[in-house]
């Protein structure tokens, strides 16, 4: 059997916190994906991960990249390492699935896109939540006109005061403590805005202009030692899409936890409560409401809205301590697109676009106001089971 047939051989590079979530989801893709080996530049982390999962390890990145059985490199390193690891994998002729952000700047992301094109390999990036059942259900409802013409969309990506939570006790299955310092320095916008941008862009097309504001509201995140370069912990931006829809996206690790995504059309509002949960319900509230319905909404919030029938039942509901998202679905999407020769829904153009808009949200000072987005992408197909 060649590498092109059957399941795609994967190497995971970066065996930290999120790698355990990917590893847990691998079993959902039997016959599609096959893990060949794992590598981390931290030998202790590599050993702990491999011991937990029983995986084969590589002694170096070069050794992983030299393995002919590896078709796709799954880059789960820290964001500052994404570009180096991705570039090395591309140079070795491997397809790459990168955790987000594809790069720390749009320029870095564009370089990777160009390198991948020149090398004739595919490049795709997380997040893949827009391929999840809850996101596809929302999108399908928009397509069939459940709320009429869409005018406005809101996404809240507020994570609460994470620095006051007991995150030092948050451990992945193989024992990696949640990497708070990295998250505070990379910034909540770079970490999370992609969850909203990907779904909104898939539904509404490319973003054309961004008007954003960001700030560091709580510089002291009580880390020991203090953070040398804390990133903005709050951002808000308005995105103007090609088709005329406007979206407001808010990110913070300050305001109380709220991950709602809402799509407002002339005939009603669709709400997805938690895009990080593939089983999260989508609710519809019609615009034409009785006085009683408005009173119920005022008093009980979304209780008065009806549940949209899911595009399909998620085969993956998470569970006690289990991830609520199928992290491997994006890798499977890339693998299938390679196998069949079809476009990948999370391809490099899309990833560059998401990176550009994310950078505009986190660092508005680097761009004109409003910032004009230069990247674009071809229309994205919904998942076959939601079409
Ligand atoms: N932590 C989460 O809950 C979470 C969720 C979704 C996505 N992510 C994304 O996943 C990525 C990794 O995050 P994490 O939380 O797992 O971080 P982490 O710090 O726990 O793990 C990253 C691992 O990559 C390794 N690494 C860094 N540079 C490397 C290199 N050049 N070569 C080999 N190994 C290298 C580190 O040693 C570390 O073990 C980030 O892009 C993050 O945005 C994280």
Q: Does residue 335 belong to any structural domain of this protein?
A: no
If asked whether residues 304 and 159 sit together in one domain, one would say yes
Q: Which atom of ligand 1 is nearest to the CA of 191?
A: 43
CA distance 248 to 375: 20
CATH number at residue 50: 3.40.50.720
Omega within 30 of 0 (cis) for the link into 225: yes
If asked whether residues 53 and 171 sit together in one domain, one would say no
pLDDT tens digits, residue range 162-216?
999 999 999 999 999 999 988 899 999 999 999 999 999 999 999 999 999 999 9
CA distance 31 to 6: 7
DSSP secondary structure letter of residue 284: E
Residue 283, helix vs strand vs coil: strand
Q: How far is the centre of ligand 1, averaged over its atoms, from the C-alpha of 340 (Å)?
A: 30
Q: Which atom of ligand 1 is nearest to the CA of 84?
A: 31
CATH number at residue 362: 3.30.360.10
Which pLDDT score, from 0 to 100, does residue 317 have? Answer: 63
Q: For tokens 């591309």, name the residue.
A: 90
If asked whether residues 279 and 379 sit together in one domain, one would say yes
Task: Report the run of H or E that residue 38 belongs to, with start and end.
Answer: strand 33-39
Q: What total of structural domains would you count in the chain?
A: 2
Where do the DSSP E strands lie in 119-256? 123-125, 150-158, 207-215, 234-241, 246-252
Does residue 41 have its Cβ closer than 6 Å to ligand 1? yes
Residue 256 has pLDDT above 80, yes or no: yes
Q: What is the edge-to-edge ordering of all strands in the sheet holding 371-372?
A: 306-307, 282-286, 268-272, 261-265, 150-158, 246-252, 234-241, 207-215, 371-372
If asked whether residues 84 and 177 sit together in one domain, one would say no
Range of the domain at 243: 130-323+348-386
Q: How far is the centre of ligand 1, averaged over its atoms, from the C-alpha of 119 (Å)?
A: 25
If asked whether residues 166 and 280 sit together in one domain, one would say yes
The residues, any chain, with a CB within 8 Å of residue 136's CB and separated by 6 or more, are 130, 311, 382, 383, 385, 386
If asked whether residues 55 and 153 sit together in one domain, one would say no
Omega within 30 of 0 (cis) for the link into 127: yes
Does residue 157 have its Cβ closer than 6 Å to ligand 1? no
Does residue 179 have its Cβ closer than 6 Å to ligand 1? yes
Q: How far is CA 378 from the centre of its chain?
A: 19
Q: Does residue 337 belong to any structural domain of this protein?
A: no
Q: Determine the average pLDDT of the residues in 57-78.
A: 98
If asked whether residues 74 and 111 sit together in one domain, one would say yes
If asked whether residues 282 and 319 sit together in one domain, one would say yes
| pLDDT greater at residue 37 or residue 224 | 37
Q: Does residue 147 belong to any structural domain of this protein?
A: yes
Q: Pick the residue whose CA is nearest to atom 27 on ligand 1.
A: 77
Does residue 45 have its Cβ closer than 6 Å to ligand 1? yes
If asked whether residues 116 and 134 sit together in one domain, one would say no
Confidence (pTM): 0.96
Asked if 222 contacts 161 with a C-beta cutoff of 8 angstroms, the reply is no
Which pLDDT score, from 0 to 100, does residue 319 have? Answer: 65
- Which of 125, 152, 182 is the last residue in one of the domains? 125
Q: How far is the centre of ligand 1, averaged over its atoms, from the C-alpha of 182 (Å)?
A: 9
Q: Pick the residue whose CA is nearest to atom 38 on ligand 1.
A: 16
Q: Does residue 175 belong to any structural domain of this protein?
A: yes
């Amino acid at each position: 059997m060649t590498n092109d047939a059957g399941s795609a051989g994967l190497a995971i590079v970066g065996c930290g916190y999120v790698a355990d979530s990917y590893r847990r989801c691998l079993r959902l893709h039997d016959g599609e994906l096959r893990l060949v080996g794992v590598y981390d530049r931290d030998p202790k982390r590599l050993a702990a991960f491999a011991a937990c999962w029983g995986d084969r390890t590589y002694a170096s990145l070069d050794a992983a990249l030299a393995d002919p059985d590896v078709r796709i490199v799954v880059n789960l390193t820290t964001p500052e390492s994404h570009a180096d690891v991705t570039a090395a994998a591309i140079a070795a002729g491997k397809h790459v699935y990168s955790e987000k952000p594809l790069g720390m700047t749009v320029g870095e992301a564009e370089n990777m896109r160009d390198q991948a094109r020149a090398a004739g390999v595919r490049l795709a990036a997380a997040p893949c939540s827009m391929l999840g059942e809850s996101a596809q259900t929302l999108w399908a409802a928009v397509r069939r006109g459940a709320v009429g013409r869409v005018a406005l969309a809101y996404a809240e990506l507020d994570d609460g005061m994470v620095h006051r939570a007991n995150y030092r006790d948050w451990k992945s299955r193989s024992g990696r403590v949640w990497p708070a310092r990295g998250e505070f320095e990379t910034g909540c916008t770079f970490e999370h805005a992609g969850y909203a941008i990907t779904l909104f862009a898939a539904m509404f097309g490319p973003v054309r202009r961004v008007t954003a504001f960001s700030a560091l509201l709580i510089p002291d995140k009580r880390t020991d030692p203090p953070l040398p370069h804390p990133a903005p912990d709050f951002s808000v931006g308005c995105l103007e899409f090609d088709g005329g829809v406007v979206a407001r996206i808010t990110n913070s690790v300050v305001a109380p936890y709220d991950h709602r995504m809402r799509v407002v059309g002339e005939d009603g509002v669709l709400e997805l409560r938690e895009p990080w949960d593939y089983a999260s319900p989508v609710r519809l509230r019609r615009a034409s409401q009785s006085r009683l319905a408005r009173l119920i909404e005022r008093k009980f919030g979304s209780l008065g809205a009806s549940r949209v029938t899911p595009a399909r039942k998620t085969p993956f509901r998470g569970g006690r301590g289990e991830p609520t998202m199928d992290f491997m679905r994006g890798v499977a999407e890339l693998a299938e697109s390679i196998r069949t020769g079809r476009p990948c829904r999370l391809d490099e153009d899309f990833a560059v676009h998401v990176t550009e808009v994310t950078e505009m949200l986190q660092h508005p000072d680097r761009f004109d106001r409003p910032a004009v987005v230069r990247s674009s992408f071809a229309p994205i197909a919904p998942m076959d089971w939601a079409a």
